[in-house]
Amino acid sequence: MSDTVSFIIDGEEIQGKKGQTILEAAEAAGIYVPRLCHMKGLTPYGSCRVCTVLVNGRPQAACTQPIAEGIVVENNSDRLTRIRKDLVEMLFVEGNHFCMFCEKSGNCELQAMAYRLGIPAPKFPYLFPKRDVDASHPDVLIDHNRCIMCARCIRASRDVDGKGVFEFVGRGIHKKVGVNSEACLGGTDAKVADKFVEVCPVGAILKKRVGYAIPIGKRLYDKEPIGSDIEAKRTGKK
Ligand code: FES
């Protein structure tokens, strides 16, 4: 039996492989589905909803929804851009994101997503939550002000590093990424070479003593919009 699955995305028929998610199949065909919590190599989590697409008219998370023969997917439309903008704007106002002072500026997926979606400033009121910075580890710091709760660090530490250093604690607006030590990150067995250090989409987890090694203006998303590498598969620009 064939493993190929045909479906329509934005009016175009594409082929994916059985078992792929919509996001994976679209990506293989050079179609970028915006995403924040998703990262290749980590278990899909489906929390940010920035990858929302319409499948036969119903909203679904493209990073967790498997492809199926004949489905009709809408990914690129004004309606979906509005939904994604609202989600990203909520992330901005829920935390304390001061891009101009952040070491991750230009490499930050949240910032790059705002640019890609055309968000000049959030329309919602800023909450200015009181959050702390955990600089107790000799080589890595966590700035909870910038955390968007994507759970990438949790998944990387648990599934790749095999340590389970992180987990969500608290509920609602008090929810945060906690560590498995009362003495903050410095009391855990986290190491700077661990995968969790590499996966944060924003500037919440940073290595110490290497800040600004790449100057602002010369960073990944200073050069091209987020998703360009995927779209280049179709346009052949890379
Ligand atoms: S990327 Fe799919 S829910 Fe976050």
What is the residue extent of each domain of the chain?
1-126
Nearest atom within ligand 1 for CA of residue 23: 2
Contact predicate 147/204, CB 8 Å: yes
Atom of ligand 1 nearest to the CA of 64: 2
Token pair recorded at residue 47? 């929390």
Question: What was the pLDDT predicted at 95?
Answer: 96
Ligand 1 atom closest to Cα of residue 51: 2
Over residues 18-42, the pLDDT tens digits come to 999 999 999 999 999 999 999 999 9
Instruction: Name all residues whose Cβ lies below 6 A of ligand 1.
Output: 35-38, 46-51, 61, 63
Ligand 1 pocket mutation pick from 51, 113, 117, 226 by most atoms within 8 angstroms of CB: 51
Specify the pLDDT at position 54. Answer: 98
Distance 136 CA to ligand 1 centre (A): 31
60 CA from centroid of ligand 1 (Å)? 10
- CATH says 1-126 is which class? alpha beta
Q: Which residues of the chain have pLDDT under 50?
A: none
Strands 72-74 and 4-9, how do they pair? parallel
Type of residue at 173: I
What is the DSSP secondary structure assignment for residue 159, as one 8-state letter?
A: I
> Does the global pTM surpass 0.75?
yes
Query: Average pLDDT of the chain?
Result: 96
CA distances, 140 to each of 44, 84, 133 (Å): 25, 31, 11
111 Cα to the center of ligand 1, angstroms: 16
Q: What is the pLDDT of residue 173?
A: 84
Distance 199 CA to ligand 1 centre (A): 15
Supply the angle between the helices 109-117 and 78-94 in degrees, to the nearest 10.
140
What pLDDT does residue 182 have? 83
Residue 237: predicted pLDDT: 58
